[in-house]
Amino acid sequence: MRGVWCDGAAVRFRGDLDEPRPAAGEVVLGVRLAGICDTDLQLARGYMGYRGVLGHEFVGELPGGQRVTAEINNPCGACPTCAAGRPGHCPGRSVLGILGHPGAMAERVAVPARNLHPIPDAIADEAAVFVEPLAAAFRMVEQVEPRPGMALAVLGDGKLGMLCAWAARESGATVHLVGKHPAKLALAGTGVATHLLADAERLGRPFDAVVDATGSPSGFPAALRLVRPCGTVVLKTTISARYEVDLAPIVIDEIRVVGSRCGPFPRAIAALASGVVDVRPLVGAEFPLDRAEDAFRAAGTPGSRKILLRP
């Protein structure tokens, strides 16, 4: 089988991969399209020590042709964490293309049947690969509960920042997107106020909640400078490095900091199907699988849109 292999130092196309071996409860999907995200770029550099086929943002099809995508966490279902209703945090879980489970940048992928979500006809393949990251954006919405009267700022004008801003836009809160690139901020569209970071810092600390979706060590300190006392900072950025921060403002201003990871697929699918969120401005170039190295290089270019791989 053809696919994209990560050896912890780089990625490369391979034409000699084993076919997926479905475990009990798993089904094999034909992969139609997969997306490259920042986590893949980090995995390619050795983050989490993953060795195997990459890919956790994808749309595939069942043997009958039904288009589907799949949640990425495969919990054990039997441990105390699963029993406590937090299967996404199961210590024994595997994670599609990230931890102990071959991913979807390949011709075929095996996933647990219970993880499947059908993709409605209204969602093109190019949009369907955004279900997973848009679900992660809606996780932030679940945690912050933006509502009328609330001012929410999203830091980071990359793809995740944009998805977070769009996911919050229907809540009635005023949504602000703060970045460093006018051309990228311009993609936000109606209903989102955009600011350059330097300008936002001159506003004082007007925000009830600030989402760090920068992917940069500078994001968290900036979020702490922008959030009001007793406000909420949502951390979406995972940096695979230790770095210096001053935690005293968290205590003095009684800030709530909330880590945010995977989110509700149904909500993301509904938002894409209804057109409430239109991800087309974020779609970038498409590459065939055997040009995976070029595709990863393109995805690693600052400011790139979502790079897609077509098996």
Binding site for a second copy (CB under 8 A): 81, 86, 89, 220, 228-230, 235-261
Q: How far is CA 80 from the centre of its chain?
A: 27
Please state the closest distance from residue 207 (CB atom) to a second copy, in A: 13
Please state the closest distance from residue 113 (CB atom) to a second copy, in A: 25
Which residue number, 19 or 254, has a Cβ lying nearer to a second copy?
254
Decide if 155 contacts 223 (C-beta within 8 A): yes
Which residue number, 21 or 202, has a Cβ lying nearer to a second copy?
202
Buried b (16+ CB within 10 A) or exposed e, 208-236: bbbbbbbbbeebbebbbebbbeebbbbbb
Decide if 4 contacts 53 (C-beta within 8 A): yes
Which residue number, 24 or 251, has a Cβ lying nearer to a second copy?
251
Question: Please, how many CA atoms are within 13 Å of residue 240, restricted to the half-sphere of its CB?
Answer: 12
Going from the C-alpha of 227 to that of each of 77, 137, 149, 206, 209, the distances in angstroms are 38, 19, 15, 7, 6
Which residue number, 13 or 220, has a Cβ lying nearer to a second copy?
220
Which residue number, 27 or 140, has a Cβ lying nearer to a second copy?
140
Please state the closest distance from residue 185 (CB atom) to a second copy, in A: 24
Question: Rounded to the nearest 5°, which phi and psi values hold at 263?
Answer: -135, -170
Please state the closest distance from residue 293 (CB atom) to a second copy, in A: 27
Please state the closest distance from residue 89 (CB atom) to a second copy, in A: 3
Please state the closest distance from residue 244 (CB atom) to a second copy, in A: 5
Rounded Cα distance, 17 and 4, in Å: 9
80: left (phi over 0), alpha (psi -120 to 50) or beta: alpha
Which residue number, 198 or 251, has a Cβ lying nearer to a second copy?
251
Please state the closest distance from residue 81 (CB atom) to a second copy, in A: 7
Rounded Cα distance, 184 and 156, in Å: 10
Question: Rounded to the nearest 5°, which phi and psi values hold at 182?
Answer: -55, -40
> What letter would DSSP give residue 99?
B
Take residue 140 and report the two structure tokens written for it. 């932030």
Which residue number, 39 or 194, has a Cβ lying nearer to a second copy?
39
